[in-house]
């Protein structure tokens, strides 16, 4: 018998794919200014997944919610 489907997601920092349960999901706060941890991984909205590597967590902590600046802005 098969084990069934295991959902996978990609870390937004290192781009490695791994089982969803091994990643931490973040969502934007209702005000849109900061990231919140979605411990249940079920809250509505766009989610960003980050692996447990220290370097990835540190880089994600510095992410900005306003998008990237374009050249000349």
Is 69 a member of any domain?
Answer: no
Kindly give, in sequence order, each residue whose CB lies less than 8 Å from that of residue 50, ignoring residues fewer than 6 positions away: 11, 12, 13, 23, 24, 26, 56, 57, 60
**Number of domains the chain contains:** 1
Is 33 a member of any domain?
Answer: yes
pTM: 0.76
Is 67 a member of any domain?
Answer: no
Is 2 a member of any domain?
Answer: no
CATH number at residue 17: 3.30.1230.10
Report mean pLDDT in 10-residue bins for the chain, 73 residues: 85 97 93 88 91 95 66 50
Question: How much is the pLDDT for 19?
Answer: 97
Query: Residue 32 sits in which domain range?
Result: 8-61
Is 48 a member of any domain?
Answer: yes
């Amino acid at each position: 018998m098969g084990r069934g489907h295991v959902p996978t997601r990609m870390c937004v920092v290192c781009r490695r794919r791994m089982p969803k349960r091994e990643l931490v999901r973040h969502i934007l706060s209702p005000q849109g200014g900061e990231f919140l941890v979605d411990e249940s991984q079920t809250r509505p909205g766009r989610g960003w997944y980050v692996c447990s590597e220290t370097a990835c967590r540190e880089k994600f902590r510095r992410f900005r919610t306003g998008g990237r600046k374009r050249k000349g802005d």
